[in-house]
Chain A
Amino acid sequence: MLKYVLKRVGQTILTAFLAVATVFVLLRMAPGDPAANYAPPNPSSEQLEAIRQQFGLDQPVPVQFWTFLQHLFQGDVGTSFFFKRPALDVVLERLPYTITLAVAAIIVTSAVAIPLGVWMARRSNTAPELGANIGTIAGQSMPDFWIGFVLLILFAVNLHWFAPSGFDSAASIILPTVTIAILQIALISRLVRREMVVNLASPYLTVARSRGVSERALTWRYAFSNAALPVVTALGTRFAAMLNGVVIVEVVFNWPGVGELVVNALKQRDFPLIQATVLVTVLLALVVQLIVDLLYPLMDPRVRLGEASS
C-alpha cells in the first residue's frame, strides 16, 4: 500500500514537471516579445533590453530553465510580469473561485445525472427513454460558450434575474454552474445508464429478485452499488479536469478563476504567471486523481492496491 502511494506520488511529480517543462519551452518558442507588453509606449531598444534583462529573458532558454528549476526547489515559482508580485500568490488568490465553481458543478451533476441514468437504465428501450437519450446527446452537442451566452441573454439581459457577469453575489455562481453541468450531466448520465443496464441484466440480480428482494433495493443496493465504481472514477476525472481550468466558461462569465487568469496571462505573455498556473492546477488535478484511486479499496473490497501495483 505504502509502496503504491509512493510510486503514485512519484509519477504525479514527474507528470507535473513534464507539463511545466513543455509549457516553459513552448512559451519561449512562441512569437511575440513579452518585453514590448511591459515597456512604456514607443520604447527605445535600450528600454526593451533593460526589461528583458529584468525578466531574465536575455539568457538562452536552457539557462532560463535551469534558473527556473533552482528557484522552484527553493519554493519560488517566479514573479508575475504583469502583477509585479509572486506568481504563486496571484494563482492561489484565484484558485478558490475555480474550486468553488468545480465543486458546485460536480454536486449538481451528481444530483441530476445519477437518478437520470438509473431511470434511463430501468426504462431501457421505451419511448420516454429514447427521448431522454436524444436529450443527453443534445446536451453534449452544444458549445459550452454558446450555452453560457444563451443563458445570459435569457436570464441576465431579458429577465434581469442575475448580474450579467463577474462575481458580485452568491447568485452569480448559478449560471456558470448550470452551463458546466449541462454537458457533464449528459456525459455522466449516459455512463450511469450503460453501467446500470449491464448490472440489471446480470445473473446475481435475477437470483436476488427470485428471493423476493424489492425492486427499489435491487436497483440501488444491488445494481447501483456495483455500478458506482466507474461512475465515481468518471466524476473524479471530470472534477480533476475542471480544476485544470473551466477556461471557456470562466471567460464567458468573467468568473475570476484560474482559467480566466491564464487566458489573460497568455495574451500578455506573462510567462511566470502561466507557468505557476500550470504547475498548481496540474498538481491539484493529479492529487484529486490520486485520492480517487486511493478510495477504490474502500468502495470495492475486491480491489487491493498493493497487489495490483506489484
Chain B
Amino acid sequence: MTTSTNLPGHPQVPNLAEVPGSILGRESAVTKVLLRRSAAARRARYSTIKIWVGAICAGVVVIPVVLAGVLPLPDPIVGALSESSLPPFSAGHLLGTDPNGRDLLSRILHGGQTSLVIGFLAIFVSGLFGIVAGAAAGYFGGWVDTIISRLLEAQMALPLLLMLLLVVALFGPSIPVITLVIAFAQWPEPARITRALVLVEREKPYVAAARVLGLPKFSILSRHVVPNILQQVLVVVLLLLAQAVLLESALSFLGAGVQRPYPTWGGIISDGRELFVTGKPWLVTVPGLAIALLVVGVNLVGDGLRDRVRRAKGDQT
C-alpha cells in the first residue's frame, strides 16, 4: 500500500521519472494526493481509525477491570451504611455509592471481571464447537451436513431467551452454567460462516493436490483448509464477545445471572431500576456506559479487522 515511487528498503531502484530520455520522463497523472484520496486508501485508513478507536474504548474498560484486584478500591460487597447513596465525585467514591453504601466503581470493576470471564469462556466454547461443526458440515457434506444444518435451523425457531432462562433456573446460576448457555446461544454463527467458507475452499486446486498426494481427509481439513479460513472465522468469533457480554448482562438483568451480593453489570442496573425514579440515576446510567463502551470497542475492532481481512482476501465490499 505504499504510495511512494522510491520503495522503502530498495533505495537502489532509480526513479524512472528522473532518468533522462525515458518514456516516463514526465509527471504521472496519478499524483500522490489522488492515491491518498482513492477509495482503497480511504478504506484502509478508515479501518485503521475504527481499530484504534475501538481498542481505546475497550481498553478504557478492560484495563481497570483486569486491575480491579490491585487498585485501591473499597470492598464491592460490604458497604458502609453511613455512606449510602452518595452522588458521583464524592470524596473517596469516584462514581458514588448505592443505597447499601457500596462503592459503585468497585462494583462495576469487580462485576466486569465476572462478565469478561464468562464472555471469553463462552466465545472459546462456541467458537471451537462452531468451527468444528461448520468445517465438518462443509467438508464432508452428506448426512453430516444434513444433521448440522437441521440443528442450526431448529435453533432459529426456538424462543431462545426463554429457553436460556429455563436452563439457568434448572441448573442454577453458576459461572459454568451461564457460560455454556451463552455458548449454546452463539455456536450457530461461527458454524454457519465456517461451513460457507469451507464449501468454497474445498473446491480449490490445493485441496485436490493434497488429495492426490494421498493425505487423509481429516488431515486435509485440519492442516490445509481450516488454517486458510481461520482468520476470517476468528474475526466473527471476536465479534461474538460483544454479543456474549450483552447476553450475560441481559440474563443478569432478568435475574438469571450470578447471584447477589456478587456484582454483575446487568445485576447492578437491575438493582438500580427502582431507584432512578427517586433521583439516583447514576446507579443505572454509569454501569450501562461501561457495558456500552466495552461492546462498542470490541465491535469496532472486529469491524475494522473484518474490513482488513476481506481486503487481504481480495474480494469487494
Q: Interface of A with B (CB < 8 Å)?
A: 15-16, 18-19, 22-23, 26-27, 29-32, 124-126, 130, 133-134, 137-138, 140-146, 149-150, 152-153, 157, 164, 194, 197-198, 201, 244-245, 247-248, 251-252, 262-263, 266, 274, 278, 281-282, 285-286
Contacts and interface: CB of A to CB of B under 8 A. Distances in A.
Contacts of B303: 133, 137
Given A134-B50, A138-B292, A140-B299, A22 B163 contact: yes
Contact of B285 (A16, A18, A150): A150
Interface residues of B, number: 43
B43 A125 contact: yes
Secondary structure of the B side of the interface? helix
Nearest to A26: B166
B180 interface: no
Contacts of A145: 250, 253, 266, 269
26 contacts: A15-B157, A19-B157, A29-B170, A125-B46, A133-B303, A141-B299, A143-B249, A143-B266, A144-B250, A145-B250, A145-B253, A146-B269, A146-B284, A146-B288, A149-B288, A150-B285, A157-B276, A157-B277, A244-B159, A247-B161, A248-B250, A251-B254, A262-B162, A274-B162, A278-B162, A286-B157
Contact of B158 (A19, A130, A143, A251): A19
Query: Which residue, of A126, A143, A251, A252, has the highest number of chain B Cβ atoms within 10 A?
Result: A143
Nearest to A248: B250
A23 B162 contact: yes
Nearest to B273: A149
A32 B169 CA distance: 9
Contacts of B288: 142-143, 146, 149-150
B281 A153 contact: yes
Nearest to B158: A19
Nearest to B300: A137
A130 B157 contact: no
Contacts of B154: 15, 18
Contacts of B285: 149-150, 153
Interface in B278-317: 281, 284-285, 288, 291-292, 295-296, 299-300, 303, 316-317
B163 A23 contact: yes
B296 A137 contact: yes
B170 A30 contact: yes
Given A30-B170, A142-B288, A266-B169, A149 B269 contact: yes
A133 B277 CA distance: 34
A153 B292 contact: no
A142 B162 CA distance: 21
Contacts of A29: 170
A20 B250 CA distance: 23
B246 interface: yes
B53 interface: yes
